[in-house]
């Protein structure tokens, strides 16, 4: 049976990063991470847990769904590991294995975002953001609405979604790699 | 004068419109001609990689194929778009 570290390495085979076995626990990734204060485990701790084979502890961690995808860690890792790709790999793994916490916003957001792109070819925030407006309670909702109004005032909140003209071509490409009802 | 295919990305088209304006200004001052990539689609950053890695790559491939058709190298000011392309 393969170890959890090998399992995660296998998920990373198509990426450019080095194997997690190279990690020297220097915490450069954690220091570079702008989202680390919201994570259950810092990127360094997460990689340490993976290398130690503590799968259950890793899979209940919110760290990989909290990653902001800024790639600062991947840029700076002295061992050539791409921690951001590790985060992606674990989010996909938790979707496949259905182990993510239902209370987290990020998995549902990613699905809605992806569905929007498959429909129109471009991102359209007003299309999926309102579903999450109640997440921050009443004060959060007021803040979101104030921001929306300010964006609207500056012409930065589009009212009509922009679309790819040859959407059929894009959908045909996507259908080659996954069935269009594959994103639920 | 150098010419490039310009890839604004979803953010620069809407919420980060100011970044788009300054990019165009800077390019103009530098004497770089930017021609918007025709019928581009979302770059495939972040959220797709949560769902399906190959899907993110396919979205990129379409943009790169369009740039090849236009016969130009591609420029993307958005860091996530740049990384993905």
Residues A24 and A84 reside in one and the same domain: yes
- Residue A75 inside a domain? The answer is yes
Distance from CA of A1 to the nearest CA of B (A): 25
CA nearest A84: which of A43, A40, A41, A37?
A43
- How distant is the Cα of B50 from the closest Cα of chain A, in angstroms? 5
A101 in any annotated domain: no
| Whether the Cβ atoms of residue B43 and residue B84 lie closer than 8 Å to each other | yes
The structure's pTM equals 0.81
CB contacts of B50 in chain A (<8 Å) are 88, 91-92, 95, 106-107, 110
Provide the ipTM: 0.75
**Buried-state track B27-57, b at ≥16 Cβ within 10 A, e below 16:** beeeebebeebebbbbbbbbbbbbbbbebbe
Query: Within this chain, do residues A23 and A77 fall inside the same structural domain, yes or no?
Result: yes
- Whether B7 and B81 have beta carbons less than 8 Å apart is answered as yes
CATH number of the CATH domain containing A73: 1.10.1060.10
Tokens of A106: 């990020």
* Residue ranges making up the domain that contains A36: 4-96
Do A80 and A117 reside in the same domain of the chain?
A: no
User: Which residue in the set B17, B40, B83 is minimally distant from A155, CB to CB?
Assistant: B17
Tell me: do A175 and A115 sit in the same domain: yes
Q: Among A40, A64, A96, which residue terminates a domain? A: A96
Query: How far A167 CA lies from chain B's nearest CA (Å)?
Result: 9
Domain count, chain A: 2
pLDDT at A184: 44
- Report the mean per-residue pLDDT for chain A: 87
In this predicted structure, the answer to whether residue A181 has a pLDDT above a threshold of 60 is no
CB contact (8 A) between residue B53 and residue A92: yes
B65 touches chain A (CB under 8 A): no
Please report whether residue A46 resides in a domain.
yes
Q: Note the pLDDT tens digit of each residue in B7-43.
A: 999 888 888 889 999 999 999 999 999 999 999 998 8
Encode pLDDT of A96-142 as tens digits.
Answer: 888 888 878 788 878 888 888 888 888 877 777 777 777 778 888 88
Q: Does B41 touch chain A (CB under 8 A)?
A: yes
Residue A86 pLDDT more than 60? yes
Q: Among A28, A61, A96, identify where a domain stops.
A: A96
Cβ contact, residue pair A156, B17, below 8 Å: yes
Query: Is the CB of B26 inside 8 Å of chain A's CB atoms?
Result: no
């Amino acid at each position: 049976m393969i170890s959890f570290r090998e399992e995660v390495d296998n998920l990373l085979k198509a990426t450019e990063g080095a194997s997690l076995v190279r990690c020297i626990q220097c915490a450069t990734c954690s220091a570079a991470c702008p989202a680390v204060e919201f994570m259950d485990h810092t990127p360094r701790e997460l990689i340490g847990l993976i290398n130690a084979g503590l799968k259950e502890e890793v899979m209940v961690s919110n760290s990989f769904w909290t990653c902001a995808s800024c790639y600062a860690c991947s840029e700076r890792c002295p061992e050539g590991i791409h921690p951001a790709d590790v985060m992606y790999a674990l989010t996909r793994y938790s979707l496949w294995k259905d182990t993510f916490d239902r209370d987290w916003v990020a998995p549902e957001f990613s699905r809605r975002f992806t569905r929007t792109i498959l429909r129109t070819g471009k991102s359209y925030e007003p299309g999926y953001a309102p579903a999450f407006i109640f997440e921050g309670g009443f004060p959060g909702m007021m803040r979101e609405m104030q921001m929306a109004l300010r964006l609207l005032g500056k012409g930065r909140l589009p009212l009509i979604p922009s679309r790819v003209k040859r959407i059929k071509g894009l959908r045909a490409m996507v259908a080659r790699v996954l069935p269009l009802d594959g994103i639920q | 004068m150098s010419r490039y295919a310009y890839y604004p990305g979803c953010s620069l088209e809407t919420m980060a419109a100011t970044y788009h304006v300054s990019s165009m200004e800077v390019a103009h001052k530098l004497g770089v001609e930017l021609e918007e990539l025709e019928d581009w689609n979302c770059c495939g950053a972040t959220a797709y990689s949560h769902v399906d890695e190959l899907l993110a790559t396919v979205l990129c491939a379409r943009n790169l194929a369009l740039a090849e058709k236009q016969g130009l190298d591609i420029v993307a000011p958005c860091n996530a778009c740049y990384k993905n392309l």
